[in-house]
Amino acid sequence: MIEIAYLPGRGVVEVAGEDRVSFLQGLVSNDVTGAAPGRAVWAALLSPQGKWLADFFILADAERLLLDCARDQAPMIAQKLSRFRLRAKVSVRDASAEWHVHAVWGGVPQPTPGNVFAADPRLSDAGWRILANAPMAADGTAAWDSHRLALGLPDPCDMETDKTVLLEAGFDELNGVSWTKGCYMGQELTARTKYRGLIKRRLVPVTISGPPPAPGSILMRDGIEVGVMRSSQGAIGLATMRLEALAQPVVLEGTALTPSIPGWMRLG
């Protein structure tokens, strides 16, 4: 059965102008040329040191690119991108007031005039993203969170600004990084962590037996910190955990958190 979830916590940043693709290409982690009507690109904006600042889906609509992002990050994304315009023929603005973001899964949505839609580029089971001029359903944030957490998909609330490294959060396996497109801001650290095998922890799904720990809760085992709790919904969540701690559950105040590694995730 097809499910449509309106996501009021998502916003949209518009990048328009004839240089929009080349402009964004030098700033984000993925190949922007892959964005086309019906086809989205998932990418991240990094600090010069290669740490996560924001991530978004890039959808193409006629003469503009629309960045489906966390609503509370849209002003920051628009501001940071605007700083790099220089002489590029491009305009950047927060267009969140004009668009309503939806996630759809369990079937293929029917195109509607005026809407912009594309498949979620991370996993086929993730479904579709739709930008519409008005809400198409009730607030479905909880249902979407249950769906994405079951697949092990991160949300901006699962990352830490200026701390998270992309490969810790699955951006490699989930098609969020291009290794061939050329330079972009933060590329050096991203490449180094891949080719030198420097990843020591991962954002992984956990099944929860007991009351879910609050986001940010420190996970301890034998007096040693092994991870940090991120978002959760019901009996499933995400936690950033050290690789050596994934073999057995972690118990926090009577709640057992058992890592459940999805098939798409490569831990080697």
Domains of the chain: 3-158 (3.30.1360.120), 200-268 (2.40.30)
Measured distance CA(144)–CA(256) in Å, rounded: 24
- Helices and strands (H, E) in the chain, number of each type: 4, 16
User: For residue 25, what pLDDT is reported?
Assistant: 97
User: For residue 62, what pLDDT is reported?
Assistant: 86
Tokens 């972009």 sit at which residue? Answer: 184
Measured distance CA(252)–CA(259) in Å, rounded: 14
Tokens of 106: 């369990």
38-39 and 116-119 strand pairing: parallel
Give φ, ψ of 146 to 5 degrees: -60, -40
User: For residue 197, what pLDDT is reported?
Assistant: 83
End-to-end CA distance of the chain: 36
User: For residue 113, what pLDDT is reported?
Assistant: 93
User: For residue 230, what pLDDT is reported?
Assistant: 98
Measured distance CA(183)–CA(180) in Å, rounded: 9
User: For residue 9, what pLDDT is reported?
Assistant: 98
* Length of the chain counted residue by residue: 268
Tokens of 164: 């998270």
Q: How do residues 145-158 score in pLDDT, each as one tens digit? A: 999 999 999 999 99
- Amino acid at site 53: L
Q: What is the dihedral of CA 117, 121, 123, 124, to 10 degrees?
A: 50
Tokens of 41: 């690109």
Residue ranges of the chain whose pLDDT lies below 50 = none
Measured distance CA(226)–CA(217) in Å, rounded: 11
What is the DSSP code (8-state) at residue 36?
A: B
Measured distance CA(199)–CA(170) in Å, rounded: 11
